[in-house]
C-alpha cells in the first residue's frame, strides 16, 4: 500500500506523462529500474531520446523542485541511461536529460520542462 508521499509522486508522474504527450513526446518507458537506479520517464521527442526526471512539490516553500536534481542524482540517471541505451542497442542515438518540475498547490499545477537540464555525469 502506498503512503501519501508515494501517492503524490505517482500523481505527479501521471501529470508529467500527460503534459509530455501534449508537448509531442512519445512515452517509451515509465519507472525504468535497474540495479543502478531508476529513471522516471524515457520518451522520444522527434529523433531524440529524453531521459526525464520528475520533481514535484506542493508549494515553493522549499524552493523550485527542479533544483532537487542533485549531482548524485544526475550521476545515477546518467548510469541508468547509458545502460538503457546499451541494452536496447541504441548507443548511437541522440539523447538528453530533461527535468519536469511540478508545483501542485491546487488543482491547476504549474508545470515546467527543462530540456537538456544537465550533461552526462559519471565518476
State the CATH number of the domain containing residue 29: 3.40.1350.10
If one counts the domains in the chain, the total is: 1
φ/ψ of 18, rounded to 5, equals: -60, -45
pLDDT at residue 23 greater than cutoff 80: yes
Enclosing domain of residue 88: 4-118
State in Å, rounded, how far the first CA of the chain is from the last one: 36
pLDDT > 90? residue 117? yes
100, 52 contact by CB (below 8 A): yes
Q: What is the pTM of this model?
A: 0.92
Q: Which contiguous run of DSSP H or E holds residue 97?
A: strand 94-103
Q: Of 103, 118, 98, whose CA–CA distance to 49 is shortest?
A: 98
* 123 in any annotated domain: no
Q: pLDDT, tens digit, for every residue of 46-96?
A: 999 999 999 999 887 777 888 889 999 999 999 999 999 999 999 899 999
At residue 119, the pLDDT reads 92
Say if 44 falls within a structural domain: yes
Amino acid at each position: 500500500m502506498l503512503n501519501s508521499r508515494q501517492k503524490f509522486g505517482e500523481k505527479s508522474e501521471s501529470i508529467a506523462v500527460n503534459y509530455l504527450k501534449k508537448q509531442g513526446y512519445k512515452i517509451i518507458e515509465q519507472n525504468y529500474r535497474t540495479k543502478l537506479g531508476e529513471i522516471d520517464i524515457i520518451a522520444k521527442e522527434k529523433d531524440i531520446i529524453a531521459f526525464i526526471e520528475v520533481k514535484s512539490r506542493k508549494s515553493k516553500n522549499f524552493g523550485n523542485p527542479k533544483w532537487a536534481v542533485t549531482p548524485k542524482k544526475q550521476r545515477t540517471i546518467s548510469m541508468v541511461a547509458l545502460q538503457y541505451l546499451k541494452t536496447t542497442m541504441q548507443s548511437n542515438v541522440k539523447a538528453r536529460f530533461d527535468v519536469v518540475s511540478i508545483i501542485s498547490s491546487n488543482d491547476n499545477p504549474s508545470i515546467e520542462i527543462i530540456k537538456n537540464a544537465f550533461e552526462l555525469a559519471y565518476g
